[in-house]
C-alpha cells in the first residue's frame, strides 16, 4: 500500500489510585447507641378523651441479625482481609541545606495481596514505580511491617510482584479461580487502603466487561473489569473479589475529575494476572510475543493498520511471506499493512499487541495483510521476543 506518513495521537485521561497518605491504624468501634424509649399513649383530643393507643408489639431484633448478603460480605472480609496488605514506598530526603541529615518519608502507598506461601505479593506497577533511593515495605493485617523487594514488573499490564520474608502464619494466599467466567451484575468486593486507611471494604457489582483503559506502560490494557464498588487513591493493587471470595481482578484506576471515587473503577482481570504473575516470578519479566517484524508503532494519517518497515533475513516472518517497506521513485512508501489477526480487525499497534498477547511462542497466526489494492493472508509463527 502507498501512503504519505503523518502522526496521530489519542489521549485517555485516567486517575491512578496511588495514595501518598500515611497508613492509619484501626480505631475501636464506636459505642452502640442506647435504645429509644417506648412509645407513650396519645393525649386526649379536643373532642373528648380517647383510649390510650398502644403500638403493635414488635419482636426485638437480635443484635447479630444480618441479611444473607450481609453475612456473605462479612465472611468474605474475614477470609480475605488477612491476605490483603498495605504497600508503602519510602524515600530518604535531606533535612538540612547541606544534606548531612536525612529522614525517611512516605513517597506513596497502595495495596496488594498475597499470591503464595513463598511470600510473593502482587500489586500495581505504578505503586512501586520510584526513583533512586526509594525502599518498599509491606504492612500485614496484624500491623506488622516488613521490607519488600521487587521481583518483576510488567508496566504494560500495570502489574508488579514483590517478595517478602515473613512467618508462615502471615502468608495466607488469596484464592484464585481455575476458570475465569465473569458476568455483568455479579457482586464485587474491594479491599484496600484508600487514603492510607488500612483494610477498608467496599461493595458493588460488575458494571461492564471488556473495557479498554490506557495503561501506564503506554499500551492500552484490554478486557478490564469495570465496577461501581468505591475505589479511591490507595486502593491500587488491592483485590477485587466475587461473592465466593475468589479473585476477580486487581483494582487499578478510576475515572474521576476530583480524584475520588465516582462509581467508575477498573480492575486488571484475573485471567491476565494468572498468566503474567508466574512469568514475573520465574523470569522477572513477562513474555512478549511478536511476529519478528520491524513495525511502525505510531499511527499514520489515513492508514488503518500497522505498517511493516523491515523483515529480518532468514526469519520466520520472511518465510511467511512478509515484505519490507520500500520507497518508490515518486517518494511514496510501498509497504505491507497488517489489518487483521486471526479474523480480528487491526487498526493500530495496540490492537496488534493485544491480539498477539493472547498467543504463546510457536502458535500459528493468520495475518491479514493489505498489499497494494489486495488483502492477502499469511501464515506466520508467533515468537518470543527478547526486547526487554
* CA–CA distance, 64 with 69 (Å, rounded to integer): 14
Separation between Cα atoms, residue 76 and residue 70, nearest integer Å = 10
Number of Cα atoms under 13 Å in the Cβ half of residue 96: 5
Q: How far apart are CA 295 and CA 62, in angstroms?
A: 67
Give the separation between CA 339 and CA 289, rounded to whole angstroms. 18
Catalytic-residue membership of 334 = no
Q: What are 351's three cell numbers?
A: 490492537
Q: Of 19, 109, 207, 236, which residue is the catalytic one?
A: 236
Question: Could you say which DSSP state residue 48 is in?
Answer: B
Determine the Cα–Cα distance for residues 250 and 140; give it in Å rounded to an integer. 18
Query: Which residue intervals of the chain are DSSP H helices?
Result: 68-80, 125-128, 270-283, 316-320, 349-357
Of these residues, 109, 111, 126, 351, which one is catalytic?
126
Give the helix, strand, coil percentages of the chain, each rounded to 5.
15, 40, 50
List the grid coordinates of 350. Answer: 495496540
Q: What is the DSSP letter of 41?
A: P
Strand partners, 376: 369
Copy the grid coordinates of residue 127: 505503586
- Give yes or no: 359 in active site: no
* Cell numbers given for 104: 525517611
Q: Tell me whether residue 158 is one of the annotated catalytic residues.
A: yes
Of the residues 109, 120, 158, 288, only one is catalytic, namely: 158
Q: Which of 177, 182, 201 is nearest to 190 (CA)?
A: 201
**Sequence-separated (6 or more) residues with CB below 8 Å from residue 227:** 188, 190, 204, 205, 206, 207, 240, 265, 266, 267
Q: Which residues are catalytic?
A: 126, 158, 236
Amino acid at each position: 500500500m502507498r501512503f504519505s506518513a503523518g502522526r496521530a495521537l489519542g489521549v485517555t485521561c485516567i486517575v491512578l489510585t496511588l495514595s501518598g497518605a500515611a497508613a492509619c491504624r484501626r480505631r475501636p468501634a464506636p459505642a452502640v447507641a442506647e435504645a429509644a424509649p417506648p412509645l407513650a399513649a396519645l393525649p386526649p383530643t379536643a373532642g373528648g378523651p380517647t383510649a390510650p393507643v398502644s403500638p403493635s408489639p414488635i419482636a426485638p431484633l437480635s443484635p447479630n441479625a444480618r441479611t444473607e448478603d450481609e453475612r456473605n460480605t462479612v465472611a468474605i472480609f474475614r477470609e480475605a482481609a488477612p491476605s490483603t496488605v498495605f504497600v508503602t514506598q519510602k524515600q530518604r530526603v535531606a533535612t538540612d541545606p547541606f544534606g548531612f541529615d536525612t529522614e525517611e518519608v512516605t513517597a506513596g502507598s497502595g495495596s496488594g495481596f498475597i499470591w503464595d506461601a513463598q511470600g510473593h505479593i502482587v500489586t500495581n506497577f505504578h505503586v512501586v514505580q520510584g526513583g533512586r533511593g526509594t525502599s518498599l515495605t509491606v504492612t500485614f493485617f496484624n500491623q506488622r511491617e516488613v521490607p519488600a523487594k521487587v521481583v518483576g514488573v510488567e508496566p504494560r499490564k500495570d502489574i508488579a510482584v514483590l517478595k517478602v520474608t515473613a512467618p508462615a502464619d502471615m502468608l495466607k494466599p488469596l484464592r484464585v479461580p481455575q476458570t475465569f467466567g465473569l458476568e455483568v451484575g455479579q457482586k464485587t468486593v474491594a479491599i484496600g487502603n484508600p487514603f492510607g486507611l488500612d483494610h477498608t471494604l467496599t461493595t458493588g457489582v460488575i458494571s461492564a466487561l471488556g473495557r479498554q483503559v490506557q495503561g501506564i506502560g503506554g499500551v492500552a490494557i484490554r478486557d478490564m473489569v469495570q465496577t461501581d464498588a468505591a475505589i479511591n487513591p490507595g486502593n491500587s493493587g488491592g483485590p477485587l473479589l466475587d461473592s465466593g471470595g475468589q479473585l476477580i481482578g486487581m483494582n487499578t484506576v478510576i475515572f474521576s475529575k476530583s480524584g475520588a471515587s465516582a462509581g467508575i473503577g477498573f480492575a486488571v482481570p484475573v485471567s491476565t494476572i494468572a498468566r503474567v504473575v508466574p512469568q514475573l516470578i520465574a523470569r522477572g519479566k513477562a513474555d512478549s510475543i511478536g511476529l519478528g517484524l520491524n513495525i511502525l508503532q505510531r499511527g499514520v494519517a489515513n492508514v488503518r493498520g500497522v505498517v511493516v518497515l523491515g523483515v529480518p533475513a532468514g526469519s520466520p516472518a520472511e518465510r511467511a511471506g512478509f515484505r519490507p517497506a520500500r520507497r518508490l521513485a515518486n517518494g511514496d512508501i510501498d509497504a505491507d499493512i497488517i489489518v487483521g489477526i486471526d479474523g480480528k480487525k487491526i487498526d493500530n499497534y495496540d490492537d496488534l499487541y493485544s491480539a498477539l498477547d493472547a498467543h504463546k511462542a510457536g502458535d500459528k497466526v493468520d495475518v491479514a495483510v493489505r498489499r497494494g489494492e489486495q488483502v492477502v493472508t499469511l501464515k506466520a509463527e508467533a515468537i518470543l521476543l527478547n526486547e526487554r
